[in-house]
Each structure stands twice: as C-alpha cells, then as structure tokens.
Structure 1
Amino acid sequence: MIKFFRKIRQRLLTENKFSKYLIYAIGEIVLVVIGILIALQVNNWNQRQQFKELSSIYIEDFKREINSDIVALSKRIASNERMTQNVNAILTTLATKNELSKEEATLFFEQNELLMRESYFIPETGAFKQLDANGNASLILSKNLRDNLYQYYTLNDRNEKNGEISTQLYQHNFISVNILSELITREFLENKIGNSLNRPRLDLETLRQSTTYLGALLAKREITVSQNRQYKNIKEKAENLLELLTSY
C-alpha cells in the first residue's frame, strides 16, 4: 500500500502536475489523521471496557464481602443475645434458689461456662484494601457510594482497634477469671474431672455475697449489650451499603 502511494506521488511529480499532487498530499494527510483518530477511538474504547470490567470486579467483591459481614454479624448478635439471657438466668437462680439439684447444678455450671466465650467480629477487608492500596477509588464513579464505602470500612477499623480488642482484654483478665474462680467447687470438679479434690460444695449464698463474681456477671452483661448495639449499627450500615452496591 505504501509503495502504491509512493508511485502515485512520483508519477504526479514527473508529470509536473503540482496542483494534483498538492490535492493528493492533502488527501493523504487527511487519511493519516483519520487513521490516527480511529486508533485513538479504539484505544479509548478499550480503556473504557477495561475500566468497566475492573469496576465491576470491585463491585462484585464488595458485595460478596459485605454480605459475608452481614451473615457474621447476625451470628454474633444472636450469640450475644443468648449470652445476655444466660446472665439473666444465672441472676434469677441466685435470687430464687438456695439449693440446686444435680441437674440444676449441671445447668448452672453450663450457663456460667458459656459466659467465658467471647464474641469478636472480624470484617472482610480484602477488596477495600486492594482498592485503596492501588489508588483505584476513581473506579467507583458514584461519590455517594464511594463515601459510604470509606465510612463503613473506617467504622469497622475503629470498632476492631478500639472496641473489640479492649473487650477481649477485659474479658480475659477480669470476667472469665472471676467467674471461673468461683465455679471451682466440689460439684464442678466432679463433673469435669471425676474428682472433687476436697473442694467446698457449691453454695449459692457464697456466690450472692461475692462482689467479684457478681461484678463479673454484671460486667459481662453490660459489655455484651454494648457490643450488640455496635454490631447492630454496623449491620445496618452494611445492609444500606449492600443496597447501594446492588443498585450501582
């Protein structure tokens, strides 16, 4: 094709047809410009397609991870509600009973042991960390959606660093220790290891008079209720964010 155009130029020059050569040269320039414009359009189209594809990948990743957060939060909320019910059941037993049957004592120990379990919400953050680290926030064209994403992940980060960690430490160092120390009675050890080790029998009055034990029970209830308030707040924001992502 290049040889073909070169031959035309040479023939026009040798025949001294300068005006026709000029027209031809202008036409050739126009063709080159058109070719460049077409190439730019194709390149822009390819970039737009890549942009859309990468944006869609992020949106789907966010939807999957936030839905996972909602499921995890629902489980944590339900578990904490059972924990609060356990505390209330123990307090009711202390308020209404003086002695417990073997079956009642077994249930009482189980209710106390459950209080030593801990709730900890670990959010999914892979998609957001990748988006933020790669500077790809511009892939989310909606400012409202982008702002909500940053608010949600900032809230989760703050909750984990300032809420969950301090709750874990308090649970380990105070609540679990003070509950367990009061539970190690003759009946408890016989149930656990088959030997009483000559420990005193379970005495509900002793538990009622134990400030450390009652303090641990009340602290567990307050912490669990507070934790659930935060979980419900995060879950509500996650559900709203999932709606925005779905409609994006």
Structure 2
Amino acid sequence: MIKFFRKIRQNLLLEGKTGRYFKYAIGEIILVVIGILIALSINNWKNYQDDRSEEQILLQNLKQEFTKNLNELNSDHKINIRMLEAAYHFLETDMVKKNPKQIDSLMGQLSTFATFDPSIGYINQAISSGKLDLIQSDSLKIHLSQWSGELNDLKEDVIIRREHWLNHLLPIIRKHIPIRNSDATQHRPDYLRQKQITPISVPEENYKEFIASLEVDGVIFDHYMNQYYVFINEENIELYIQRVLALIEKELN
C-alpha cells in the first residue's frame, strides 16, 4: 500500500501537481503511523499475556509455599499448646498430690516445644527479582511484602522463650531433680535400635522441695507467659497466612 502511494506521488510530482502530491504524502504518513500503532498494540498485548502467564506461575508457587507453611505452623502449634497446658497444670494443680514420676512427666512436657521455621525461599526470590510487581492485586502485594515483618514478631518471642528455658528453667530443675527423668523422648530410634536413658532415683524430699519452692513457681510462670506470647503470635500468623492464601486464590484462573 505504501509503495502504491509512493508511485502516485512520483507521478504527481512529475506532472507538477504539488497539491495532490502533498495530500498523498500526508496519507502515506498516516498509514505508517497507523501501522506503527497497530504493531505496538499487538506487542503490548503479547507482553501483557506473557506477564499474566508468568503471574499465574508465581501465584501457584507462592500458594504451594504458604500452604506448606500453614501445615507446619499447625503442627508446631499443637505441640506448643500441649506445653502451655502442662505449665498451666503445674501452676493451677495441687502438686503435693503428684508422685515423682508425674512431676518428671510434666517437666518433660515443659521442655517440649516447637519453633516455626517457615519456607521463605520462593517469596524472597520473587521480591529480590522484582517479580512481585507482576501481581495485579495491590492487597496481595502488600501482604507479601510485609510477611517478613510478621515473622520477626514471632522470632523475638521464640528467642526469649528459648533463652529463659536454657538459663532459668533447666538450671532450676537440675538443682532439685534429675533432668534425665523428665526426658520426653525416652524411646527413640538410634542406629536402628531402641535405646532408653535409665532414670535415676533421688529422695522424694527433693520433689517436695521442688514443688514448694517459690522460685520454681516463678520460673515456671515466666516460662508459661513466654510460651503464651509465642502462642498468640502463632495464632496471628495463622490468620495472616490464611488471608494470603485467600488473596492468592482470588487471583488464580
């Protein structure tokens, strides 16, 4: 079409018809511009389709990672609830009526807690590579970008719980009763054999002093509160993950 207009312009120029020549020249320019706009539109449409395809892959991977994290969090949460209940039981029950074996069992439960260790590889990769911008939902992008901040609150409380357990709870248990007797993992696979740590006997008076000690009561209460803060943070993170998964589901085709 452009060659056709060019041929006409050449003939008009030879014939001295400059007015018509310029009209055809303008027509040729308009055709070129229209062609460029169509090409750009097609290219933009293709780029948009490519972005949407890549966005769907990104969303599927994020869904898989957050679903895995939710399952792990739920598993850890159950363990931490049992520890919380054990601490509450010690603080709210007349422990004088408990025999040494029952007290040992409770101490074992107080030392059995879980730490949520989320998978963050894919979301970190998406953020560092800038692929998060492919996501069209502003709400989802905000939730994903704030994910590390949500985890930091839990990490702080987990560190406080562990430090208190190591520096206060374990030492005061050792001071009164055998720590080996409270091992909650007495039976465990070890080199394809079942091994057991043999409990040792101490005077029952040690247990009476242990449960009567105000210092012991205070240390276990602090441990209970530390675990409670972890528990609350885990509940908040569970809700956060559920919101993220719901937002992801809305964007998936």
For the aligned pair, the TM-score class normalised by the smaller chain equals 0.7 to 0.9
Supply the distance in 2 between the matched residues of 1:178 and 1:244 (Cα, whole angstroms).
48
Instruction: Provide the residue aligned with 1:125 in structure 2.
Output: 120
Deviations 1:139-196 (A, max 9, x none): 3333333333344442222332x2222222222222233224433189779x965585
Instruction: Provide the residue aligned with 2:226 in structure 1.
Output: 223
TM-aligned CA deviation for residue 22 of structure 1? 5.0
The equivalences for 1:98-177 within 5 A come to 99-100=99-100, 105=101, 107-160=102-155, 162-177=156-171
Is the deviation greater in 141-150 or in 46-55?
A: 141-150
**Structure 2 counterpart of 1:219, which letter?**
D
Q: 1:110 to 1:140 in 2, by over 3 A?
A: same
Q: Give secondary structure in 2 for the equivalent of 1:124.
A: coil
Instruction: Provide the residue aligned with 2:62 in structure 1.
Output: 62
Q: 1:83 to 1:37 in 2, by over 3 A?
A: same
Percent identity reads 29
Say if 1:185 and 1:202, in contact at 8 Å, map to a contact too.
no
Supply the distance in 2 between the matched residues of 1:222 and 1:158 (Cα, whole angstroms).
15
Say if 2:80 and 2:231, in contact at 8 Å, map to a contact too.
yes
Q: 1:187 to 1:83 in 2, by over 3 A?
A: closer
Supply the distance in 2 between the matched residues of 1:95 and 1:50 (Cα, whole angstroms).
70
TM-aligned CA deviation for residue 64 of structure 1? 2.3
The reply to whether residue 239 of structure 1 matches residue 242 of structure 2 is yes
Is the deviation greater in 151-160 or in 219-228?
A: 151-160
Supply the distance in 2 between the matched residues of 1:186 and 1:43 (Cα, whole angstroms).
70
Instruction: Provide the residue aligned with 2:84 in structure 1.
Output: 84
The reply to whether residue 34 of structure 1 matches residue 37 of structure 2 is no
Instruction: Provide the residue aligned with 2:203 in structure 1.
Output: 201
Say if 1:90 and 1:112, in contact at 8 Å, map to a contact too.
no
TM-aligned CA deviation for residue 41 of structure 1? 1.0
Deviations 1:74-98 (A, max 9, x none): 122211111123234455472323x
TM-aligned CA deviation for residue 219 of structure 1? 2.4
TM-aligned CA deviation for residue 19 of structure 1? 6.5
Supply the distance in 2 between the matched residues of 1:188 and 1:67 (Cα, whole angstroms).
35
Instruction: Provide the residue aligned with 1:95 in structure 2.
Output: 96
Supply the distance in 1 between the matched residues of 2:9 and 2:121 (Cα, whole angstroms).
61
Q: 1:229 to 1:16 in 2, by over 3 A?
A: same
TM-aligned CA deviation for residue 231 of structure 1? 0.9
Any gaps of 5 or more consecutive residues in structure 1? none
Q: 1:187 to 1:224 in 2, by over 3 A?
A: closer
Supply the distance in 1 between the matched residues of 2:179 and 2:139 (Cα, whole angstroms).
58
Say if 1:182 and 1:213, in contact at 8 Å, map to a contact too.
no
Supply the distance in 2 between the matched residues of 1:188 and 1:229 (Cα, whole angstroms).
27
Is the deviation greater in 165-174 or in 223-232?
A: 165-174
Supply the distance in 2 between the matched residues of 1:188 and 1:56 (Cα, whole angstroms).
50
TM-score under structure 2 normalisation? 0.73
Q: 1:11 to 1:131 in 2, by over 3 A?
A: same
